[in-house]
């Protein structure tokens, strides 16, 4: 069997602040770790954008021939979880388990592939304690009344990812009352147990891990002391990723990750999403207003590193675009159904769009550029179905088959067009009917009248029915497969 050499890919490395050629430690194999959700509530759409972006990164690496080990964790031990559990009266472990399942449902709705490993903090206490003990033994951490802290001053490379100056960070910082740490910037690796909180045995007494140490322990277990790609949202650079680097590299004397990738912020009508601003939109709320696949398309419409503006209009535009894609696929499927076009040439260069798609994705996973190539592909399919530039039907059929095959390849990377076209369009119509209060029985009655009028060649009557339906917000489409209808876009 011939060994496949993966295609070269360039990605932007936050550590070097430039694009670099992907060169995995093990040729052909890529280890990817993405910081997952803290499961104390439903995720918001900013989280969803980050996880969708890295879902596409993993899919594309596999498409290009790489063997990928994808790890995305669950933070199920955390101050926020304890606070939320106290407010609901639940045990923290029960609340966290519930939101783990909600996250999995949301991820499935957005067509995210399952990671190869989805570790939980609560299941990795031995690994966490072990790395903390290593840091204590090496003088990078210290115990203080049951707490254990990382000594930031002991790490001469601290803040190399965020490019911050340690002295500047220290200005204005104070050790807060109740903290047992020596320096203001030192951070907790282990927290002594408090009444009503979950706790585990350790060399320093009962307690629980701090936030940052979990990812150092779990990435090491599943990807090794050094791995290829570490991803997350832009706001994790400092302090979370900075602290991960400090912990792991102080413990092992090796780089934690070769490449650091960060997803940009999502803006809500121009304001950066932030819990403090009170403008966080939960993913589940968004999915009540827009199709999940359309939301995924919206996330991919902007390069993952760039800010993305979220608004009702942007979602409506994304759903309209998905409707166009699925209407095109339905037309093509109807044209191709049950036909054999034989072997032979194709019209033009249908595969050029797949080449453009790959060029965009090879350049730092540019999904926006990839969608541009996809638009060209769908444009050619529409041209061939609506106004074929050639009269050779087998030639047109073979070309449509080639284009449809490339759509399937792209779909496997972008996680789009995975549904049956007719089923998706029907769901879209049903939602629009509910939102606009359209009487479906009345629409079907008028369509029957129009069909009868056309059969009797009373085209004036058929046109009157079309006009009546248009006034009701209904648009008719006559295709080779028959007459169908949809809810027309709302005006204004």
For residue range 129-149, list pLDDT tens digits in order: 999 999 999 999 999 999 999
- State residue 165's pLDDT score: 87
Return mean pLDDT, the chain: 93
383 is in an annotated binding site: no
Residue 484's CB is within 10 A of a number of other CB atoms, namely 17
Pairing of strands 271-272, 266-268: antiparallel
- State residue 1's pLDDT score: 41
Backbone angles phi, psi at 485, to 5 degrees: -145, 160
Residue 157 scores a pLDDT above 50: yes
Q: Are 297 and 322 in contact (CB under 8 A)?
A: yes
35 is in an annotated binding site: yes
Non-local CB neighbours of 417 within 8 Å, separated by 6+ positions = 325, 326, 329, 407, 408, 410, 411
Span 160-179, pLDDT tens digits: 999 998 877 765 555 565 57
Residue 292 scores a pLDDT above 50: yes
The rounded percent of the chain whose pLDDT value lies above 90 is: 79
- State residue 3's pLDDT score: 56
Pairing of strands 29-34, 67-72: parallel
What's the pLDDT band for 482 if we cut at 50, 70, 90?
confident
Residue with the larger pLDDT of the pair 450 and 489: 450
What's the pLDDT band for 273 if we cut at 50, 70, 90?
confident
Domains of the chain: 10-138+215-287 (3.40.50.620), 312-421 (1.20.120.640), 424-487 (no CATH)
Q: Are 298 and 314 in contact (CB under 8 A)?
A: yes
Pairing of strands 67-72, 147-150: unpaired
Residue 95 scores a pLDDT above 90: yes
Separation CA 154–CA 181 (nearest Å): 14
Q: Is 178 left (phi over 0), alpha (psi -120 to 50) or beta?
A: left
What's the pLDDT band for 288 if we cut at 50, 70, 90?
confident
Q: Are 353 and 377 in contact (CB under 8 A)?
A: yes
Residue 272 scores a pLDDT above 50: yes
29 is in an annotated binding site: no
Separation CA 347–CA 273 (nearest Å): 47
Separation CA 151–CA 143 (nearest Å): 10
215 is in an annotated binding site: yes
275 is in an annotated binding site: yes
- The model's pTM is 0.93
189-193, 333-337, 373-377: the lowest-pLDDT one: 333-337
- State residue 477's pLDDT score: 84
Terminal C-alpha separation, the chain: 59
Q: Are 213 and 219 in contact (CB under 8 A)?
A: no
Residue 190 scores a pLDDT above 90: yes
The rounded percent of the chain whose pLDDT value lies above 70 is: 95
Separation CA 422–CA 108 (nearest Å): 21
Span 23-63, pLDDT tens digits: 999 999 999 999 999 999 999 999 999 999 999 999 999 99
Q: What Cα–Cα distance (Å) separates residue 7 from each residue in 1, 31, 66, 409?
A: 18, 17, 8, 16
Backbone angles phi, psi at 240, to 5 degrees: -60, -55
Residue 432's CB is within 10 A of a number of other CB atoms, namely 19
Separation CA 240–CA 133 (nearest Å): 20
The pLDDT of 80-98, averaged and rounded, is: 95
Residue 96 scores a pLDDT above 80: yes
Q: Are 306 and 12 in contact (CB under 8 A)?
A: no
The pLDDT of 379-398, averaged and rounded, is: 94
- State residue 239's pLDDT score: 94
* Token pair listed for 176: 């807060």
The pLDDT of 154-160, averaged and rounded, is: 95
Span 356-366, pLDDT tens digits: 999 999 999 99
- State residue 169's pLDDT score: 78
Q: Shortest CA distance to 396 belongs to which of 408, 376, 382?
A: 382
- State residue 177's pLDDT score: 55
Span 225-259, pLDDT tens digits: 999 999 999 999 999 999 999 999 999 999 999 99
Separation CA 246–CA 162 (nearest Å): 12
- State residue 90's pLDDT score: 94
Separation CA 45–CA 288 (nearest Å): 13
């Amino acid at each position: 069997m011939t060994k496949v050499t993966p295609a070269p890919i360039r990605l932007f490395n936050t550590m070097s602040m430039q694009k670099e050629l992907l060169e995995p430690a093990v040729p052909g194999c890529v280890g990817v770790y993405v910081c997952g959700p803290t499961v104390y509530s439903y995720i918001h759409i900013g989280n969803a954008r980050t996880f969708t972006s890295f879902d596409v990164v993993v899919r594309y690496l596999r498409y290009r021939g790489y063997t990928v080990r994808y790890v995305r964790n669950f933070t199920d031990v955390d101050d926020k979880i304890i606070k939320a559990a106290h407010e609901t009266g639940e045990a923290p472990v029960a609340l966290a388990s519930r939101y783990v399942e909600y996250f999995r449902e949301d991820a499935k709705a957005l067509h995210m592939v399952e990671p190869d490993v989805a570790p939980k903090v609560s299941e990795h206490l031995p690994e966490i304690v072990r790395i903390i003990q290593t840091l204590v033994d090496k003088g990078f951490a210290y115990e203080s009344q049951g707490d254990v802290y990382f000594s930031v001053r002991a790490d001469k490379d601290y803040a190399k990812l965020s490019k911050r100056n340690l002295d500047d960070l220290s200005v204005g910082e104070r050790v807060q009352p109740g903290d047992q740490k020596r320096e203001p910037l030192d951070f907790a690796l282990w927290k002594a147990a408090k009444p009503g909180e979950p706790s585990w045995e350790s060399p320093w007494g009962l307690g629980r891990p701090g936030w940052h140490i979990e990812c150092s322990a779990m990435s090491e277990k599943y990807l090794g002391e050094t791995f290829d790609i570490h991803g997350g949202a832009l706001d994790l650079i400092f302090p979370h990723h900075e602290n991960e680097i400090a912990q792991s590299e102080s413990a092992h004397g090796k780089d934690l990750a070769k490449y650091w990738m960060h997803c940009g912020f999502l803006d809500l009508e121009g304001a950066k999403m932030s819990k403090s601003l009170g403008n966080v939109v939960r993913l589940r709320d968004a999915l009540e207003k827009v199709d999940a696949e359309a939301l995924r398309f919206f996330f991919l419409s902007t390069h993952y590193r760039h800010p993305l503006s979220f608004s009702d209009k942007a979602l409506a535009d994304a759903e309209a675009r998905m409707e166009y894609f699925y209407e095109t696929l339905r037309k093509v499927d109807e044209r191709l159904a049950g036909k054999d076009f034989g072997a032979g040439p194709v019209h033009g260069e249908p595969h050029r769009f797949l080449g453009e798609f790959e060029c965009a994705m090879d350049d730092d996973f540019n999904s926006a550029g990839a969608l541009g190539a996809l638009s060209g592909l769908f444009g050619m399919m529409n041209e061939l179905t609506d106004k074929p530039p050639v009269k050779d039907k087998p030639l047109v059929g073979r070309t449509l088959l080639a284009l449809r095959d490339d759509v399937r390849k792209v779909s496997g990377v972008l996680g789009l067009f995975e549904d049956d076209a007719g089923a998706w369009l029907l769901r879209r119509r049903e939602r629009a009917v509910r939102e606009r209060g359209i009487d479906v029985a009345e629409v079907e009655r008028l369509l029957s009248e129009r069909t009868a009028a056309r059969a009797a060649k009373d085209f004036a009557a058929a046109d009157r029915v079309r006009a009546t339906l248009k006034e009701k917000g209904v648009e008719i489409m006559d295709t080779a497969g028959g007459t169908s209808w949809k809810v027309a876009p709302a005006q204004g």
